[in-house]
Amino acid sequence: MTAQTLEIKAAIEIQKPATVIFEAITDPAQMSHYFISQSTGIMEEGKQLVWNFPEFDIDVPVRVGKIVQNQYLSFYWMSDNQQELLVEISLTSRENNSTVVTVTEKGMNNDETGINWLKGNTEGWANFLACLKAYLEYGINLRKGAFDFRKPQ
């Protein structure tokens, strides 16, 4: 029997059209209101970026994969154990100018390292979606101060 590969999937419906959500996900000026603190550029197909997160003093290399305007984007980044992981974000338009945003990240081995990744990143992507919804629908930055307890003292 071979080990199963683990995959994360999280989704939420946001009361905004896909065009607005796509822009918020690809534009670092907007991303800084709900996800990262800074980026070396806009998400464009084939581009190499570096993201920084407000609660960690680390640079995270990101390799942008495929982009389909207002529908889909993918990128690759490294896990804590230096395994390249694929993140896919799909936007599905719904009635009343709302959009279902689905994030999938794959894939770690089904072992202790993989299970710890699954727990942590599932929580992270659920937080990403909640913060994106709060930012786009209400102009609120839920992430501000939320993870200060993780900063080194």
User: Residue ranges of the alpha helices (H) in the chain?
Assistant: 18-26, 28-31, 112-138
User: Pairing state of beta strands 48-52 and 38-39?
Assistant: antiparallel
Band of residue 82 on the pLDDT scale cut at 50, 70, 90? confident
Please give the model's pTM, rounded to 2 decimal places: 0.92
Closest CA to 14 of 88, 98, 81: 98
**pLDDT (mean) for 64-68:** 98
21 close to 123: Cβ distance less than 8 angstroms: no
User: Residue ranges of the alpha helices (H) in 27-111?
Assistant: 28-31
Domain annotation for the chain: domains and CATH numbers: 5-144 (3.30.530.20)
In this predicted structure, what is the pLDDT of residue 12? 98
Q: Name the average pLDDT for the chain.
A: 91
**pLDDT (mean) for 101-107:** 95
User: Residue ranges of the alpha helices (H) in 53-111?
Assistant: none
Give the DSSP H/E element, type plus range, for residue 55.
Answer: none
8-state DSSP, 37: S
pLDDT reading at 129 higher than 50: yes
How many angstroms separate the CA atoms of 65 and 92, rounded? 19
120 close to 38: Cβ distance less than 8 angstroms: no
Question: Cα 75–60–113 angle (5° rounding)?
Answer: 80
In this predicted structure, what is the pLDDT of residue 3? 59
Band of residue 1 on the pLDDT scale cut at 50, 70, 90? very low
8-state DSSP, 132: H
Q: What is the pLDDT of residues 30-41, one digit of tens each?
A: 999 999 989 999
